[in-house]
Structures are given as C-alpha cells and as structure tokens.
Structure 1
Amino acid sequence: MTSTAPPLHRPGAGAPSAFEEATYRKVAWRLSPLLLLCYVVAYLDRVNVGFAKLQMSADLGLSDAVYGFGAGIFFFGYFIFEIPSNVILHKVGARVWIARIMITWGIVSALTMFITTPTMFYVMRFLLGVAEAGFFPGIILYLTYWYPAHRRGRMTTLFMTAIALSGLIGGPVSGWIMKSFDGANGWHGWQWLLLLEGIPSIVVGIMVLMLLDDRIAKAKWLTAEERDLLERNIAADNVEKEDMPIGKILSSPRVWMMSLIYFSFVMGLYGVSFWLPTIIKATGVTDALSIGLLSAIPYGAAVVGMLLVARSADKRGERRWHIAIPAVIGSIGLVLSVIWANNTALAMLGLTLGTMGILTTLPLFWSLPTAFLAGTGAAAGIAMINSLGNLAGFLSPYLVGWLKQVTGSNSSGMYMLAAFLILGAVLVLSVPARMVNR
C-alpha cells in the first residue's frame, strides 16, 4: 500500500512539516511524563542514602569511609548485571523489563530500613544495584526506538532532568520525613525515609506495565500515518549506524573512549549527589529540613540549565562544545564551593554552579554513542558505557569519604572531582565532530 504520510524531515533540509511536528509532540506527551516519573523515583531511591546518612551514621556507628564504600558498592551490582539486563530488554521489550526492574528495586530499597550493621548496609546496597541494573541504559536505548538523533538530545535531557527534579523534590521531602517521622512506631527518621521513598517505585513499576508500549508498531494511540512517519524516520536515522556483534562492542576503541568520558562525568555527579547534604551541613547548617531545602537550590537551577543547553545543541546540531563547556563550569563551581566553604551563601553558589554544569553534561553525552550504535550493538554498547562509567559511582563517594576522613575536610574530594570534569571535557573535544554532530 502506498504511504500517505508526508516525506520525512532531515536536519538541514528546512523546517519539518506541521504533521511531523504534531506527531512528535503527541509522542512526547505520551512517553515523557511516565519516563520522567520513572527516573525521579529511581534516582531518589539510589541517592536518598545521602540524607539517611545524617542520622544513620550515628545510629549504626558508620564512619565516613564505611558510608562511602556502602553508597558506592551499589554500582558493583549495577556493573555486573548491566549488559545482560539491557540485552534482555532489547529482546523481550521495555514494558515488562522496566516494570520488573522498578518493582524489585522498590522492594529492596524499602527493606534497607532494617539494616543494623555495616555488612548489612553493604549487602542491601549491592542488591539495590543488581535490581536496578539496566534501567537507565534501557531507557536510553528505548528512546532510540522512537526518536532520530536530531530530536533525541532534547528528549534525553528532558528524561534526565529527573536527576535534578529528584534533588529538587527529594531534598525537602527527605528532610521533612526524617524530622517529622523520627521516633514514630519506634523507628528512626532514616528508616521511615527508606520505606516511604521505596513504595513509589513499586507503584510506578505497575504503571509502566499498564501504560508503556515497546515499539512504535505497538502504539495503538498512533494513527497508521503517524506510525509510518516515525518508523521511516528511525530507519533513515539508522542507515549509517553499525549493529556490531557484542564481542566487537567489548573491544571497540570508540566504545572504550565513550566509557572513559562518561566515567569522568559520573565521578562529579555522584560525588555531589551522595555528599551534598554533608557538605551543606559542614557550612554550619544543622537542621535536617533546612539542609533539605538548601539542597533543592542547585538542582532547581540545574533543570533550567539542562533544558536551555540541550535546546541549543539540538538547534545547532553541535554536541562537543555543548558538553565540554558545562563540564568546565561544573569544575569551577566545585572549586569555588571549597574556597567559600565557611560561608553558606557563597558555598551554595559554588555548589549550584557545580551541579548545573555536571548535570548538563550527562544527557548530551548520550548523543555521542547513540550517533554510531544501532540494534543489539546499541543495547550492549550503551549498557557497557553506562556500566563502566558508573563504576565511578562506587569510586567517587568512596574516595570523597576517604579523603575527608584522612584530611578532615571536604576540600581534597572536591578538587579531585573538579579534575575529573576537566578530563572529561578534554576527551569530549578529542572526539571527531563529524562522528557525533548530527
């Protein structure tokens, strides 16, 4: 049958048709709210241990080094199961697999409230990583099923604003839970925090099972003409990509380079995510609710920065400088937070710049590997990059905690994170522009 859909739009070929724009708006309104909600509750469960630490360390006798190791061991479980999980998702579909991931991690997160020893803390954090493995790269892969490269940067950024939103919402909520529920039913505030922030993941997982469509072809809410347009755009986008065998992915220099770049940025992300409440407390703020409210400021600013930079990158079809410049700004912000550590207002300004820069780099980074990977190769490649990069999620909080314990201050840890951000910026600029600017 001859298609009645308008010709597909290519970047640089003039404005897309009104039909195409309307179709992508329809897709965005259907997918974005659910995916955003998924990542908000996911990230909240991953990093709420940073707020739990404010009480948990004293209750359980955890040193900064023990906390840093426990916060980071999450990423070992994540690393081991990341590639198998993403390949399974590609085979069985995102709906069932994303739902499975969310429900199991919600259960594990809530059960962490019952830990009593450092060993139990390590075990539950490791199991949380196993449960969540495959979620983030699965969503990045899922977006490649729906959006061509020149549209995917903005959608990936919109999805990843969940990191900032979870900090914006989670900070005040976490502080309020810990302050208001402390002692209720004989439980500490940090126990209530883990329980009440674990339940939403289970609920949203059930929503995914009911609402998410695996592929364009299965979306009954699209007309035949809309499905045809979307599928032709994806087919055209995949022409120059390579569906490499998994073995070739594991030895690809390009994939290893992407992994190193991502590792550098994730060092900054989790150094801030896991230690932000502690850094704010070190400036002289002691009330849990006040710390929660202050921690929302950097994340709120980051949402604005992420969306503006992503819009600029998609409009210009340029990726490298849109990633490198925010990374440098993030580095400067972390250094300033150390220089101004004794002044809460100025330290917050530095932390805000640092958080904005770090979070802006991450979604745009994913426009680099998805520019040359497709099919099962994309599933394995994205998972490999994410799993290797997220080993920084173990190393970063552990090193920050160890350096703080050795030196007695947060300064050396922040300088280390700043150096990794500069390294990431340099490596991004070494990537050939023709390979990633689309």
Structure 2
Amino acid sequence: MVRKVARHFLPLVGLCYIVLYLDRLNIGFAALTMNDELGISATMFGFVAGVYFWSYTLCEPVSNWVLSRVGARIWISRIMATWGLVTIGTALVQGATSLAVMRFLLGVAEAGFSPGMLYFVSCWFPHARRGMAMSWVVTFICLSGLGTPMMTHMHGLDGFLGLSGWRWIFVLTGIPAVLLALACYRRLRNTPAEADFLSAAERVWLTRTLEEEARGVDGNEKHSFRAGLAEPRVLLLVAVFICVTFSLNGYQLWTAQIFKSFGMSTTEVGWVAAIPPLLAVGPMLWWMRHSDRTDERGWHFCVAAAVAMVGFGVAAVSLSTPAVAVAGFCVAGIGLYTSMAVFISIPASFLTGAALAAGFGVVNGMGNLGGYFGPQVAGWIKDATGGYGLAIGAFGAAMAVAAVLILGLKKATPRPEVTL
C-alpha cells in the first residue's frame, strides 16, 4: 500500500522539485554571459542571486499557514503557476535593479512550496517509511543536475527571436512550472481519506496509522500551528538550516563560474556541474535507508555534514589543480545532499499536524536566509581576493557548525520515544 502511494505521488513531486531547482539555479548559468551584458560585478551578482531568499523568508510562514487551511492541492498548484510566470518574466530584465526585483518577486511566488511538499509527504507516509520518502525528494533535487547541460546549451539560442541566450534560459525553465501546476491540481490529494486510488480498507488503515503515530510523537499540545511556531527545537533547526543553505546555495549558484575559471567551455561547465549531485544519489539513498532502519537522525546528519566539510576543504586548497578540485566538489556534493535528506526528516520526529506545517515553514523560511548569505559572501570574497578558495572553505566551515548544532538538538530531546 505504501508503494502504491509512492508510485502515485512521488514521480510528480520529484518532477516539481527538479523544476524548482532549475528555476533557482538558472541565474547561475545565465550569469556566464548575462553578467557581462548587464555589467554585473561579482558582489552585485551575489546580491541579486541571494535577494530571493529575503522575500522567501518573509512570506514562508504565511504561505504555510494558508496551506494548512486550504490544503496542499490548491496551494502548491498556485505556487508553481506564479513562480513559473515570474521566471519567464525575468527574461525581460534590463539591468541589475530589475533583475533584483524579479528575484525578490520569485521568492514571494515560491514561498511555501518546499515545506508544503515536505508537509504533504509527511501526511502520507508512516514514520518507518518517511525517511526514504524524503530521500527520494532529495534524489530528484540531485537529478535536477541533469538540467545544467541543457541550460548551458540554451546559450546557443542567442539571437533567436531577438533574445540573448541567457534570456531563453529563464523562458524555457519557467514554462514547465506552469504546466506542472495544472498536473498538481489534477493529481494531488490533501489526505488519505481523499485517495481514490486506494481501496476503502487501505484508506482506513493509512489514516488510522498516521493518527496513532501523531498521538505518540509528542502529545496533543504539538498539533496546533501556534505550537509549531513556539517550539524551541524548531529555532535550533533554523540555525542548522541556515548553515546548510549557506553552503548549498553558495555552492550551487557559483558552481558555473568556478568551473568556468578552470578554463572549461560553457558546454563543459554544464556537464561537469551535473556530476556532483548525480554521484550523491546512491550514497544518499543507502544512508537514508540505514537511518530509517536504525531510527536515528542526528549522527547520520553529522557524518554526512563531515563528508561535505572534507570535500569543500579539498576543493578549496586544490583550485590550481582542476581535476582534484572537481573531485573535492563531488565528495562535498555527496555529503551536502545526504545531510539535507536526513535533515528534512527531523521536524516530523517531534511535530505533527498543523504544527508540522508551521515547523517546516519556519525552518525552511528563516533557514533559507543562509541562501542569501552564501552567494553574497562568496561574491565579496571573490571581489576582495580575486579567487574562490576562501569562499569554498567557508562552505565547509558552515557544515561543521551545522553538525555541532545537531548534536545540541539531540541533547535537547530527552524523550526516549523521539529519536533524532
């Protein structure tokens, strides 16, 4: 029955995440020619790439409150349609100011999608299978790396219909979001009770199982939206996620330009940039299966974060040897994406119901502030030093801090039935 649920929902959820990350990363690959055409410096690029996370953070809790009221089906469909239209509109920008405005609007439009989807998955999968379900979500995020060669090839459309190649990147990555919005409205269901693809007995069993698990997690006081906002452990998770997104978004948004500095062609940049996330898929799935079987999250996160730290450290000191640096980024990618897969399964360990929606919203919203500081700090360092070494080292240091904070979260969760 759980496999039936997975087959029904996860392919669509995965496609949505692929498009989500393409629309987050498209600016990094557009920058290969956009920055020169619009006269954007490294510091300014870091700002316009990261300003998206400010509006995302401001709107995230409100968006998730609406989702908890109207349901995932309607709200996620709305989110995807609006972010797709904003992405397409970004092709019309004429300078750094208008680009920053469109990135800000993208954050407003997209706010609520990722925590909304994670909340949706948590509402359909029992605890014993939730970690693997979450890992499949991150698997599709990794598979979005297959889109990087496509985005670099879009530069070849330069001049078609009078548009620069980088403008076509925004148009062609925005259209799928609008189309998937329609698919989500047709396919998604808010609760197992609405699942017309399950038998009556399966709907009853899944509903009862999820309700019993919810009662056993932390008591009824953790079901309200307000309780999720006030939960101290949520604030600690925010700090952890700031570190993770600092490294993840800083790395993702600067990858194309870092690899370009190795002397690679635009096409080569796209293919090489796809390698680290794709290599992460196998180790991540294996590690998450192990986490589910042992019912442990904290140490699994710490080990993955340590792998990311080592990988970034190798890349930072090996920029003069591109092959070694790329190998370091591959190791960092394995640790980074695996730690994220473990991390997103943690809130459901101590929150349920509307509180879980609130917790996901706060963690993902406020935590994504790191997504602003990562690209911005990398831009500052690049302009100040002329290189990327210290910025990459900072990505590794942030993952080390995240691991330490997770150990603090384990100590802050004394109940034996809640295993992080």
Matches within 5 A, 1:2-401: 23-167=1-145, 169-178=146-155, 180-239=156-215, 240-241=217-218, 242-243=221-222, 245-285=224-264, 287-401=265-379
Give per-residue Cα distances to partners, 1:22-75, cap 9 Å, x unaligned.
Answer: x00100000110000011101110111110010100000000111100010101
Counterpart of 2:148 in structure 1: which amino acid? G
User: Once the 2 structures are TM-superposed, how far is the Cα of residue 436 of structure 1 from its aligned partner?
Assistant: 4.3
Counterpart of 1:281 in structure 2: which amino acid? K
User: Once the 2 structures are TM-superposed, how far is the Cα of residue 375 of structure 1 from its aligned partner?
Assistant: 1.7
User: Once the 2 structures are TM-superposed, how far is the Cα of residue 244 of structure 1 from its aligned partner?
Assistant: 5.1
Cα distance in 2 between the residues matched to 1:250 and 1:299? 32
User: Once the 2 structures are TM-superposed, how far is the Cα of residue 202 of structure 1 from its aligned partner?
Assistant: 0.5
Give per-residue Cα distances to partners, 1:214-235, cap 9 Å, x unaligned.
Answer: 1101111100111111111101
Question: Structure 1 residues 113-122 or 368-377, which shifts more?
Answer: 368-377
Give per-residue Cα distances to partners, 1:320-354, cap 9 Å, x unaligned.
Answer: 11111110110111111121112221111001111
Distance 1:115 1:396, change over 3 A: same
Question: Structure 1 residues 29-38 or 248-257, which shifts more?
Answer: 248-257
Counterpart of 1:109 in structure 2: which amino acid? T
Tell me, yes or no, if the aligned pair for 1:367 and 1:436 is still in contact at 8 Å: no
Cα distance in 2 between the residues matched to 1:420 and 1:436? 26
Cα distance in 2 between the residues matched to 1:252 and 1:210? 35
Question: Structure 1 residues 30-39 or 423-432, which shifts more?
Answer: 423-432
Counterpart of 1:388 in structure 2: which amino acid? M
Residue 421, structure 1, aligned to residue 403, structure 2: no
Cα distance in 1 between the residues matched to 2:105 and 2:284? 31
- Percentage of identical aligned residues: 37
User: Once the 2 structures are TM-superposed, how far is the Cα of residue 367 of structure 1 from its aligned partner?
Assistant: 2.0
Cα distance in 1 between the residues matched to 2:226 and 2:207? 28
Distance 1:248 1:225, change over 3 A: closer
Tell me, yes or no, if the aligned pair for 1:47 and 1:274 is still in contact at 8 Å: yes
Question: Structure 1 residues 368-377 or 202-211, which shifts more?
Answer: 368-377
Structure 1 length as normaliser, TM-score?
0.92
Q: How many residues align?
A: 413
Structure 2 length as normaliser, TM-score?
0.96
Q: In angstroms, what is the RMSD of aligned CA positions?
A: 1.3
Gaps of 5+ in 2: none
Cα distance in 2 between the residues matched to 1:124 and 1:60? 15
Give per-residue Cα distances to partners, 1:178-201, cap 9 Å, x unaligned.
Answer: 1x2112122111001110111010
Counterpart of 2:151 in structure 1: which amino acid? S
Gaps of 5+ in 1: 1-22
Counterpart of 2:37 in structure 1: which amino acid? D
Cα distance in 1 between the residues matched to 2:279 and 2:417? 31
User: Once the 2 structures are TM-superposed, how far is the Cα of residue 298 of structure 1 from its aligned partner?
Assistant: 0.5
Give per-residue Cα distances to partners, 1:371-429, cap 9 Å, x unaligned.
Answer: 11112211111100111110001111001111111111101111111111001111112
User: Once the 2 structures are TM-superposed, how far is the Cα of residue 247 of structure 1 from its aligned partner?
Assistant: 4.4
Cα distance in 1 between the residues matched to 2:74 and 2:350? 27
Tell me, yes or no, if the aligned pair for 2:56 and 2:365 is still in contact at 8 Å: yes
Counterpart of 1:62 in structure 2: which amino acid? I
